[in-house]
Amino acid sequence: FEHEWQIRVMVLNDMEKLDRTLFRLEQGFELQFRLGPTLQGKHVHVHTNYPAEGERFERHKFRVLDWINPTGREDDSDKFCTLDLKISGSYQYYFGHGSGKSGGGYIVVDPVLRVGEDNHVLPLDCISIQTYLSKCLGPLDEWLDRLRVAKEAGYNMIHFTPLQTLGESRSCYSLADQLELNPDFSPPGQTYTWTDVGNLVEKMKNEWNMLCITDVVYNHTAANSKWIKKHPECGYSLVNSLHLKPAWVLDRALWHVTCAIADGKYKDRGLPALIQNHEHLHAIRGVLWQDVFPKIKLWEFFQVKLEPMVEQFRTLLQSGAKSDRSKTEGKQQLKIIQDPQFRRFGNTVDMNSALETFVPHGSSPGAIEDCCNWLRRRLEELNGEQYHEIKHHQEQATNCIADTVSYERLADHGPKLGPVTRKHPLLTRYFTFPFEEATLEQDLELMNQPEKSCHFLAHNGWVMGDDPLRNFAEPGSNVYIRRELICWGDSIKLRYGNGPEDCPYLWAHMQKYTEITAKHCVGVRLDNCHSTPLHVAEFMLDAARTLRPDLYVVAELFTGSEELDNVFVTRLGISSLIREAMSAGDSHEEGRLVYRYGGEPVGAFLQPSLRPLVPSIAHAMFLDVTHDNECPLQIRSVYDSLPSSAVVSMACCATGSTRGYDELVPHQISVVSEERFYCKWNPQSKPSSPAEVTLQSGIIAGKLALNRLHQELASKGFNQVFVDQVDEDIVAVTRHCPSTHQSVVAVCRTAFKNPKHHRYTDEVPPMCIPGKIEEVVLEVRTIERQADSYKKDERSINGMPGYTVEIKEHIQLKDSKVVRQAGVTSRGRNEYVQEIVFEQLTPGSVIAFRVSLDPKSQELVGVLRHHLIQFNPLYKAGSLPDPNTPDILKSPLTQIMSKMTLADMNILMFRCDAEEKEDGGGCYNIPNKTCLLSVMADIRPKNDLGHPFCDNLRQGDWMIDYVSNRLISCGDLSLMWAYTTALDVTFKQMSSFVQNGSSFVKLLALGSVQMCAVGHFPALPPLSPALSDVPYRVNEITKQKEQCCVSMAAGLPHFSAGIFRCWGRDSFIALRGLMLVTGRHMEARNIILTFAGTMRHGLIPNLLGEGVGARFNCRDAVWWWLQCIQDYCTMVPNGTDILQCPVTRMYPTDDSKPLTAGTVDQLLNEVIHEAMERHMQGIEFRERNAGPQIDNNMRDEGFNIVAKVNPDTGFVYGGNRFNCGTWMDKMGESERARNKGIPATPRDGSAVEIVGLCKSTLRWLVALHKLGLFPYNSVAIHKDGKQLSMSYDEWDRKIQQNFEKMFYVSNDPNEKHPELVHKRGIYKDSYGASSPWCDYQLRPNFPIAMVVAPELFTVEHAWEALNISEEKLLGPLGMKTLDPDDMVYCGVYDNSLENDNYNLARGFNYHQGPEWLWPIGYFLRAKIYFAKKLGKDTYDETVYLVKNVLSRHYVHMERSSWKGLPELTNENGQYCPFSCETQAWSLAAVLEVLHDL
């Protein structure tokens, strides 16, 4: 079965049990299992019973699937295991990590049906099936004459009721012998066999292109089956199901009531044999309560005999027995234990519980007697409870009996059985009784004679509203004693047990039956499926599929729940579920069923061949009538048969009917009592002939046209459905083909009420049909004709001869009798609409139009599809070459896009509203949504056409115009675009790490495109004109050349445009991950050199402000800048060349005015050395323009900037308690709470990460100098009028020698400030803070130093400190910024909060608990580094942790409409509304972890 290669992806999530979810797949599909975020990093094993290539399917044999890791790297987040689905059926999968199961479910693979001599495929949606009662077909040699009616009416599948020998009742579903062909099929002197049936079925398949299915009945066998008499263990008897004894006693008593009523014995009590009114029903109730229940005393089967129990208890007490508490587990409740033999008063109680409950006060006889009396009273209470429970059962039984009698003898819609006789008893017997009639007392004696009671077998039936997964004949069910079973008195319920070992004969017998059926028919209908034990049906269908792998399985379920339906569909591999149009009470509901049971909505999205596996509803077999339904002609009207059939035929699923419906047989053809034969086909027959039919009989001609149309629509891809309720009687069903953009619209005027007796309006609303009507496919109506009135024939099942159909097919609109006129109108600028005015759409009429787009639109769509073929080959159908194709469109989009830079890709894919507004535009507004592509990603797999976005598309072309106009304004981007193509081109411009990386890596790498852009106004100061490879553009206003370097936004949407876009600290924390790891080396170089040009006072600005508005108020940005230069030199080929690049100095001296580019140039080497030398010399200045004009919250002292180096330790230190020079830079803003102008986290002194970054830089500079790549080996300083110097090597050694002893909080009793130590085994957050207790706070900063300068740490101390951080600081997405044990910890950030709380007001706790994301990257990288030092086991455990943590970032990105990672979360990963939705350093830090892996 060939089609485009399709892949479906099932994402596994921990503890996700999908046993009741249906996943349907086709043969030839590939199914991939991938790990969801909750399983990332875990050692997951996936098991399935889908057989390996060449092996046989065994339901209980599971195999483990091998993982495929496409990247071959430690980051295996993209790994998957796969199944190539080549065999139909139901298959189970489950998965787990460790020993248990963590989830699982089923997949159902559809069969492929083939028909005709050429064995062509019959798609399931093409099926048109007709049901035949096999016993009404007559002798086998006459079958073809009767079955030909189905062929001539356009059906392509026959459903036979069971073909086996029938039981005494002659019900089609009560089989006397499951292995024997019904002897009625063999005329006198002839014996037909299963082979003859097989030959006939094969002939129909090859010559008529018709397939055959038949029923399998597993629940019951006929009461007169000979084999059940030999093997009574196959049913529920009083030998193997002793719990049924009380119900059997009641059943026998009711039989004797039947006999007494029939014999007139209750006549004097107002209960005659002919029950005619409710007084008679009341008399029945009186007989039950006065005669039956008191006589049979059912409660005795559930009670204990008091005195023996009390005597046994007395004996135990006298012997000094004590209770064994280990057996009662301290539970003192005394309960009756049911006698497994179900003898009267056979129940007992647990004596151990009795001994624990009733303890004598002493050992004297009096004390013991008191205790026995307590027990006696308790037993009397328990017996009383049992009595009342049985009384409740008897009340329910009485109600059920009254309801049954009322239906069978009084109700107008019931069978009205007439007088009570032994042939037509008061109630159907629940059990067989194959013995002579005797008294009730004599009958009850047989109960204890196993050789006879084994033949008292329970009948089958159904229970209203029962749980279909429960077997109502098993222990625990009270259905039989409560008389809740609607009983089939001709059928014995079969007892399979739990497996073949419980009843070997029955399992073997039914397996042979199944194999006979599967050998001769392509499919089976599971009769009474909802009450067939699932494990039995599984076993039998497995046997059938062994013989016929592509077995078509049909079932009818009455569970009342789609979820319960799915249990049967998934476990049994049901191909189609029967759905009944007769369940609809009106045309509106009938139309709703068409929409519900198949097809996609019109306008559905074209799906890619690789896509997520989404739940399905069961494939439907939608029947206008089933053989169990009441006759539609009796409850609707003869005129409704045709339009309701048309509504059903337009459904995008299997459809069908039952023989007799098309011939207008005016009564139900009973599966039990009907013994006449179907009519034969004879095209020359007269309407009055009762034994033959022609095309003019009933609605057969109309059904032929409808079946042809149904099959054409399914085979030609009309798989989209729209249903329009035009008015209360008219339903219009549209089937649309998305590849040709052609539709067929069927307008059906139903006639649920007979037009002869019901006034239908003559006013039919006009219809507007979009597009051009090519033809009227058919117009057909039911009409009366001259014929004899209907008379029920004695030998043939005949229909009403006085009706036929008037039909025209494939005519032009002008020749229609139904349509009066069709005007062309227009709604909107491009919509072509034809308005239809009906003239003779009478009740019972159907008209179907074939509709195309208007010629111009059709041509444009064809051209558009031609251009879209490069994205999906499915667009080939319906495509047209364009002779006027513009040159640009002659090249594949991939080739066009390959000329675009990553900055262009930013414009194309990732701009937020502020960036768009800078260009004079703005983002397209979708209600409640932020990101267009994220919205589409959600809508497409679910075909959520009700989404506001889809509604916006339906209302107008604004969205398409917006995209087009926006791209035109961007220059060469004025062409249609495809997101996936853009992604492919994007990744090709990135590093091999990204190109060969996992989906997670690629998703993070897109953060580089998201954050790095060229704005409308330059965000960066210009580079030196002497620098090569600098991008330029022409300014639209000045028409002058200007540099257009990529800048990096700190975060979106808050820091995306204007002076707040670029920040030194943020840029250089993120630069390694977003630019170097992704391979954007040239752009990284330009950012490094741009910031170098803005150096002043030896510092890099925090807020860049395009250079001229820079603020030099942070101590750490310069060290992150230096770290990035080091990373550039290390990671980029020939990276050290950057050291010789010219830097144009905007501020060559501290007091310079901003200079233009090229005025003063220096090599980057020199600028680096200047930064180091200025720190050693000591930086101390006051910010320019200090005051509220640059910072409204800062106190005056805070504008004083200090950054120096301690000559003894080598540590960089600085700051004061009124400013915050590191990344934890929250300044108090609340006057009310008195924290305004106070930094929450000043971190003055030596911040641990700055010391680490400084050490990293020194180590690198020393190495560079040795290689001759850096000309300086020392810094010179002026102190007290003297020039001093310190070598880089010495500085490096000082930090190395002092770090551990100054920063590590050990268990040393001589600790300088023991009163400040809150946790030992950690590294201080700072050294020498003005508030000494701040040094000792546990924060997530020391792992940064571990990553950049791991040589500072001893492995054991580092590992201990990291473990403490993991325990205390690690959150779902980020790291807590403060130890939760700290007294000022608060994990919820609310910048709008204004109250009196010093620690919280106006977000004062920004870095006092909320969980920031970027530090988690350094924490995980530090863990990886030191784990490697501790051996393989520790490393493997760490990798597991890392993957597990990162999986949470993966899921956040997948679900985020911004496709990014936030700046921070509140405690425990809760969403923080004040955070940027996506932050550069958050993305970078996680990407760096994956790079380290």
pLDDT reported for residue 18: 94
Residue 1236 has pLDDT above 60, yes or no: yes
1253, containing H or E segment: helix 1248-1266
Per-residue pLDDT tens over the stretch 1271-1328? 999 999 998 889 999 999 999 999 999 999 999 999 877 777 888 999 999 999 999 9
Predicted confidence band at 937 (pLDDT cuts at 50, 70, 90)? low
| Residue where the block lists tokens 């051209």 | 863
Predicted confidence band at 756 (pLDDT cuts at 50, 70, 90)? confident
d(CA 1107, CA 1091): 8
pLDDT reported for residue 975: 35
Residue 267 has pLDDT above 50, yes or no: yes
| Residue where the block lists tokens 């005027």 | 749
d(CA 102, CA 678): 56
User: Between the CA of residue 272 and those of 26, 266, 285, 420, 698, what are the distances in Å?
Assistant: 62, 7, 14, 9, 46
Lowest mean pLDDT among 271-275, 625-629, 747-751, 894-898: 894-898
Per-residue pLDDT tens over the stretch 1035-1082? 888 888 999 999 999 999 888 888 889 999 999 999 999 999 999 999
Tell which wins on pLDDT, 75 or 829: 75
Pairing of strands 620-623, 654-658: parallel
At 80, list the tokens. Answer: 């998957």
d(CA 237, CA 81): 50
Pairing of strands 113-115, 80-84: unpaired
Q: 103 pairs with which residues across the strands?
A: 95
Residue 458 has pLDDT above 90, yes or no: yes
Per-residue pLDDT tens over the stretch 385-434? 999 999 999 999 999 999 999 999 999 888 999 999 999 999 999 999 99
d(CA 1490, CA 71): 12
Q: What is the mean pLDDT of residues 1112-1129?
A: 97
Q: What is the mean pLDDT of residues 1127-1155?
A: 96
Per-residue pLDDT tens over the stretch 1389-1437? 999 999 999 999 999 999 999 999 999 999 999 999 999 999 999 999 9
Nearest to 378 by CA among 410, 343, 353: 353
Query: In terms of residues, how long is the chain?
Result: 1493
1187, containing H or E segment: none
Per-residue pLDDT tens over the stretch 304-351? 999 999 999 999 999 988 888 776 555 568 999 999 999 999 999 999
Return the half-sphere exposure (C-beta side, CA atoms, 13 A cut-off) of residue 104. 20
At 1320, list the tokens. Answer: 């030992």
d(CA 1024, CA 1007): 28
Residues 6+ apart with CB under 8 A from 576: 124, 127, 552, 553, 554, 555, 618, 619, 620, 621, 653, 654
**CA-CA-CA-CA dihedral for 229, 235, 238, 241, to nearest 10:** 160
119, containing H or E segment: none
pLDDT reported for residue 972: 38
Q: CA 1409, 1412, 1418, 1419 torsion: positive or negative?
A: positive
Neighbours of 1388 (CB within 10 A): 16
Return the half-sphere exposure (C-beta side, CA atoms, 13 A cut-off) of residue 307. 0
pLDDT reported for residue 370: 94
pLDDT reported for residue 1483: 97
DSSP 1047-1077: EE-SEETTBSSGGGS-BHHHHHHHHIIIIIT
DSSP 41-105: TS-EEEEE-SPPTTPPP-TT--EEPPPB-TT-SS--TT-EEEEE--S-EEEEEEEEESSS--EEE
Q: What is the mean pLDDT of residues 1239-1262?
A: 97
DSSP 358-407: ---SSSSHHHHHHHHHHHHHHHHHHHHHHHHHHHHHHHHHHHHHHHHHII
Predicted confidence band at 992 (pLDDT cuts at 50, 70, 90)? very high
Residue 360 has pLDDT above 70, yes or no: yes
Q: Interhelix angle for 948-955 vs 958-968, to 10°? A: 90
d(CA 1018, CA 931): 25
Type of residue numbered 1432: K
pLDDT reported for residue 964: 65
pLDDT reported for residue 1214: 97
At 795, list the tokens. Answer: 């030998």
d(CA 78, CA 32): 11
Q: 108 pairs with which residues across the strands?
A: 24, 90
| Residue where the block lists tokens 């970032």 | 1449
Q: What are phi and psi of 59, to 5 degrees?
A: -55, -35
pLDDT reported for residue 926: 67
User: Between the CA of residue 513 and those of 90, 171, 233, what are the distances in Å?
Assistant: 21, 18, 19
Q: What average pLDDT is seen over the chain? A: 92
What is the percent of the chain with per-residue pLDDT over 70, rounded to a whole number? 97
Tell which wins on pLDDT, 1406 or 755: 1406
DSSP 1089: H
879, containing H or E segment: none
The residues carrying an active-site annotation are 527, 530, 628
Residue 939 has pLDDT above 80, yes or no: no
> What is the separation of C-alpha 220 from the centre of its chain, rounded to a whole number of angstroms?
38
pLDDT reported for residue 977: 46
Determine contact, residues 1216/1197, Cβ cutoff 8 Å: yes
Residue 214 has pLDDT above 80, yes or no: yes
Residue 210 has pLDDT above 50, yes or no: yes
Predicted confidence band at 1141 (pLDDT cuts at 50, 70, 90)? very high
pLDDT reported for residue 827: 57
Mapped onto helix, strand or coil, the DSSP state of residue 1205 is strand
At 1482, list the tokens. Answer: 């958050």
d(CA 474, CA 472): 6
pLDDT reported for residue 955: 73
pLDDT reported for residue 927: 61
Which stretches of 835-878 are DSSP H helices?
A: 855-868
Residue 1245 has pLDDT above 70, yes or no: yes
Residue 976 has pLDDT above 50, yes or no: no
What is the percent of the chain with per-residue pLDDT over 90, rounded to a whole number? 78
d(CA 952, CA 728): 29
Tell which wins on pLDDT, 1209 or 826: 1209
Residue 892 has pLDDT above 90, yes or no: no
At 1156, list the tokens. Answer: 């233009």
Residue 1431 burial class via C-beta count within 10 angstroms: exposed 0-12, middle 13-18, buried 19 and up: exposed
Per-residue pLDDT tens over the stretch 118-130? 999 999 999 999 9
At 285, list the tokens. Answer: 């109730």
Q: 1227 pairs with which residues across the strands?
A: 1239
Nearest to 1113 by CA among 1191, 1221, 1186, 1203: 1221
pLDDT reported for residue 875: 77
Neighbours of 1057 (CB within 10 A): 24
Per-residue pLDDT tens over the stretch 763-785? 889 998 888 999 999 999 999 99
Q: What is the mean pLDDT of residues 586-592?
A: 92
pLDDT reported for residue 55: 94
Residue 919 has pLDDT above 80, yes or no: no
Predicted confidence band at 4 (pLDDT cuts at 50, 70, 90)? low
